[in-house]
Amino acid sequence: MKKVLLLLLLAFCTSLGFSQNKAQDKANDTTNSKEIRIVNGWNFMVDEKRFPGATIFSKDESGRQVQFEHQGADLWCDVAVFYKLENRLKAIGNIRLEQGDSVLMTSGKMDYDGELKLAKAYENVVLESQTSESGNMTLTTDTLRFDRENQQAYYQDFGTVVDSANTLTSEIGRYFMETKKYQFLDSVHIKNPQYILDSEQLDYYTSSKNAYMYGPSTITGETYKIYCERGYYDTKIESGYGIKNTRIDYNDRIIVGDSVYFDKAREFASATNNITVTDTINNGIIRAHYAEVFKANDSVFATKRAVAISLVEQDSLYTHGDTLMITGVPEARIMRAYNNAKFFKTNMSGKADSIHSEQKTGIVQLITNPVIWNGVNQMTGDSIRILSNVKTEKLDSLKVLNNAFIISLDSISKTGYNQAKGVNLYGKFKENELRIVDLDKNTEVIYYMYNSDDELIGINKTIASAIRITMANNDVEELTFKTQPEGDIFPEKELPLEERKLKGFIWRGDEQILTKDDIFDEDDNNIELVVIKGIDNPIDIDAEEEARSLNAGDPVNKIPLPENDTSKEPKKRPKVQKVKAN
């Protein structure tokens, strides 16, 4: 009994002393003191049976709360169980913990350890933080640990974060107050009026509203859907990139690549390394190592071993150029292949300086120095046009305009060449096979003629105003001359070698494209790719975020590319360096 009375007397004296010397205590610098300091105790008692070694403080009749101070933080509550010797307390009822002007935490219960500067809050916990001059962040959860020593707060049983832009939820979360960064784990979900983001792990900076994703992540917007397993996203302007297993469903195209960049405001996406762009309406595919997609213009630009693949009558058509450009609405696409353009399909191939293809008309144009091969037949002219039936997608006809020339190696002798030339050439296809060839104006022909035993009869050399060649299995079946042809069939010995080639003869057999891989030259196959940092190894996210903050005033050069990158990629890209591809 004496012991209880002594404790009551000590507690009373302590409280009285705090009250009388309040002004003096405030004048003293207690910021660095490890001891929890009571500012207002009001009512007090001890209960050695339930709380041995503790003093119990409670609010007064007017509702004024108990107040404590510890190293720059103030705590108010209705009831406090204070263990002075252990430098800890239990707070109960209407708890408010303030740290300067930037952090406010409220809860129903709290354990506070002054030695560790650790607060564990329970029951309707709310943490409010000033994240920028223009906005606050609010975290609500059932249980929250606030580590004041390391300036971190973390929860493990689901939490919700609301700021000026987004509502974020996750099972596990940690808030780093110095960098104003959240690290969310397990079932991360961001809800925004414009999009929804789901991820396994996400780092989120409350000041910039930038998100860094790890593991399977999906962003679903009004006009796009992004999937990646590592990436960055600016939630304010809906812009960012994925750098691992990235895919964007964008309008009527699907973009896949090692690194894919997206910008909603510009209606723009780009991709780097091992790219596939799929036209979901026309079932066309573009493969390259760099591509850009402009949604507003309904166009795709591709380079670095670029190839467009489309299905024509159950046969794949491959078109390559140093640069590919596809424009136009889905039902009227126009494809342009520039510089060193080539195409290949099973029964036909060709090349020219550029190739233009129009979906609506079914016309393919080979422009400047064109050549096509149909089976063993080589056709050249100033320009070549191939027409397909837009409904059946079968080859219909072709035109070789100005200086038309058709050549094939004699299939028996393997030394001579069958040739025909004229001003223009008109061909007709049946079941995708060239059957009729008409040459007009100043036509000439040289043709090796054999009997049924494959014995050479002679070499036919004739001129006429027009010639029709009927073909079967890509070989000449019949020659028909119009309007007083002049010529003869010469025995082989009577026709000198120099007269066995028509004027303008150029054989380009060594250029013939025999497989889909032949559309690529040595430069295409040895192209240098970029290594995208962060795919296999972690990068310093805090340093990258700081770099973005420093460049926040520059809308283009957010993260600069290295000086040796001369590609046309947008500037806001992951940091890269060049290496040679395998």
Residue 420 banded pLDDT, cuts 50, 70, 90: very high
The one-letter amino acid at 93 = G
Nearest-CA neighbor of 523 among 307, 322, 296?
322
Average of per-residue pLDDT across 531-538: 69
Residue 581 banded pLDDT, cuts 50, 70, 90: very low
pLDDT for residue 313: 64
Residue range 347-382, pLDDT digits in tens: 899 999 999 999 889 899 999 999 999 888 999 999
What Cα–Cα distance (Å) separates residue 350 from each residue in 142, 247, 344, 486, 519?
A: 69, 33, 7, 33, 9
Identify which has the larger pLDDT, 313 or 177: 177
Residues in the chain: 582
Residue 397 banded pLDDT, cuts 50, 70, 90: very high
pLDDT for residue 433: 84
Identify which has the larger pLDDT, 535 or 138: 138
Determine how many CB atoms are found less than 10 A away from the CB of residue 420: 25
Instruction: Check: CB of residue 88 under 8 Å from CB of residue 114.
Output: yes
Residue 198 banded pLDDT, cuts 50, 70, 90: very high
pLDDT for residue 354: 96
Q: Rounded to an integer, what distance in angstroms lies between the CA atom of residue 159 and that of residue 176?
A: 15
% residues pLDDT > 70 (the chain):
87
- Is the pLDDT at 570 greater than 50? The verdict is no
Residue range 153-196, pLDDT digits in tens: 999 999 999 998 899 999 999 999 888 899 999 999 999 999 99
Residue 563 banded pLDDT, cuts 50, 70, 90: very low
Average of per-residue pLDDT across 190-217: 92
Average of per-residue pLDDT across 61-90: 95
Residue 413 banded pLDDT, cuts 50, 70, 90: confident
- Is the pLDDT at 115 greater than 70? The verdict is yes
- Is the pLDDT at 23 greater than 80? The verdict is no
Average of per-residue pLDDT across 307-326: 88
Q: Rounded to an integer, what distance in angstroms lies between the CA atom of residue 85 and that of residue 58?
A: 19
Q: Rounded to an integer, what distance in angstroms lies between the CA atom of residue 57 and that of residue 570?
A: 63
What Cα–Cα distance (Å) separates residue 29 from each residue in 17, 41, 486?
A: 18, 20, 118
Average of per-residue pLDDT across 216-222: 93
pLDDT for residue 11: 43
Identify which has the larger pLDDT, 438 or 484: 438
Return the beta strands (E) in 332-474 as ranges. Answer: 334-345, 348-358, 363-367, 371-374, 377-380, 383-388, 395-409, 417-430, 433-450, 456-472
pLDDT for residue 329: 87
Half-sphere exposure of 100 toward its Cβ, with a 13 Å CA cutoff?
A: 8
Q: What is the sign, positive or negative, of the torsion defined by CA atoms of 206, 210, 214, 219?
A: positive
What Cα–Cα distance (Å) separates residue 402 from each residue in 368, 383, 431?
A: 12, 7, 27
Average of per-residue pLDDT across 229-249: 92
For 402, the 3-state DSSP assignment is strand
Residue 23 has which token pair? 């002004």
DSSP class of 527 = P
Q: Rounded to an integer, what distance in angstroms lies between the CA atom of residue 76 and that of residue 286?
A: 64
- Is the pLDDT at 131 greater than 90? The verdict is no
DSSP class of 493 = G
pLDDT for residue 184: 95
Residue 542 banded pLDDT, cuts 50, 70, 90: confident
Determine how many CB atoms are found less than 10 A away from the CB of residue 451: 8
- Is the pLDDT at 558 greater than 50? The verdict is no
Average of per-residue pLDDT across 17-42: 63
Average pLDDT, the chain: 86
| Rg of the chain over all Cα atoms, to the nearest angstrom | 40
Euclidean distance between the first and final Cα of the chain, in Å?
87
Average of per-residue pLDDT across 494-508: 93
Residue 329 has which token pair? 């609405």
Q: Cα 171 vs. chain centroid, distance in angstroms?
A: 28
Residue range 472-497, pLDDT digits in tens: 887 888 888 887 789 899 999 999 99
DSSP class of 23 = H
Residue 540 banded pLDDT, cuts 50, 70, 90: confident
Q: Rounded to an integer, what distance in angstroms lies between the CA atom of residue 466 and that of residue 481?
A: 6
Residue 8 has which token pair? 């009551």
pLDDT for residue 6: 40
Residue 308 banded pLDDT, cuts 50, 70, 90: very high
pLDDT for residue 32: 65
Q: Rounded to an integer, what distance in angstroms lies between the CA atom of residue 300 and that of residue 327?
A: 7
Nearest-CA neighbor of 365 among 332, 404, 334?
334
Average of per-residue pLDDT across 439-444: 92
CATH number of the domain at 358-516, please? 2.60.450.10
**How many distinct helices (H) and strands (E) make up the chain?**
4, 42
For 129, the 3-state DSSP assignment is strand
Determine how many CB atoms are found less than 10 A away from the CB of residue 491: 10
The one-letter amino acid at 252 = D
pLDDT for residue 381: 96
Determine how many CB atoms are found less than 10 A away from the CB of residue 32: 7
% residues pLDDT > 90 (the chain):
65
Residue range 322-333, pLDDT digits in tens: 999 999 888 889
Nearest-CA neighbor of 485 among 450, 439, 452, 552?
439
Where are the chain's structural domains? 358-516, 524-580
Residue 525 has which token pair? 């196959």
DSSP labels, 196-217 = EEEEEEEEEETTTTEEEEEEEE
pLDDT for residue 307: 96
pLDDT for residue 575: 35
- Is the pLDDT at 21 greater than 70? The verdict is no
